Chain A
């Protein structure tokens, strides 16, 4: 699924990284636990989260994530958006809650990550 489809399904606003909306996303992961994100996500995934601090961007940077969706209309600070921009990460903002946002994407065919064999 392309990022621009995710944007449409979630009625999302693009906060940065509009130029990468043609990127293909293979799977999704919804979590506020950054260590779980580090443990399970691979590149090619999109992260949906309600957490809006700099560590979310750092985490995305470490594992080469291309896109983050902030849920429940929680707008990150300007500093965080700048950080994402620097690392070519697309940031989407949706008013849906984490559960609903994940459900809407799943319904349209975007599957969750596979838990086995992500790092080893």
Chain B
């Protein structure tokens, strides 16, 4: 891969699809491994995409995860249509969650999703319009400069 070469992956994520939840992230992880990317980086991307995927399944009306892999970095976009986030600062706080009980019973909704995503990424941005959409952008460097 030279600088202009990149791999683009796109996955549609369905609302409340708990049987398939995680398949996109599993697939992304497999591809990164096949590309020979260092295990530590692969794990960061896996955690970031998996939390993003679960967020879309749990909180949105559906959305997508887009991944762009270059030689230098992995960019992840998690975009959904849904209720959005009214107070992003609060949502970023560890332990804060709006997930209902049936989600907590699945082991999620502990209020660690967004903080985990931020922790795993080198660049992180979240934007949301209440009652419309949420967009999360994450960049994880493969070769740290």
Task: Give the interface of A toward B (CB within 8 A).
Answer: 32-36, 38-39, 43, 49, 51, 53-56, 58-59, 61-64, 119-120
Contact = CB atoms under 8 A, between A and B. Distances in A.
Given A51-B107, A53-B107, A55-B106, A39 B112 contact: yes
A61 B43 CA distance: 9
B13 to A, nearest CB: 14
Interface residues of B, number: 26
Given A39-B115, A59-B107, A62-B25, 6 more contacts: A33-B108, A38-B116, A39-B119, A63-B46, A64-B43, A119-B47
A58 B113 CA distance: 15
Contacts of B119: 39, 119-120
B74 to A, nearest CB: 15
Interface string B26-69: 10010000000001000110110011001000000000000000
Main secondary structure of the interface of B (DSSP, over half): helix
Nearest to B20: A54
A55 B108 contact: yes
Interface of B: 18-19, 21-22, 25-26, 29, 39, 43-44, 46-47, 50-51, 54, 106-108, 110-113, 115-116, 119-120
A62 B19 contact: no
A30 B46 CA distance: 21
Given A55-B106, A62-B46, A64-B43, A33 B112 contact: yes
A92 B56 CA distance: 31
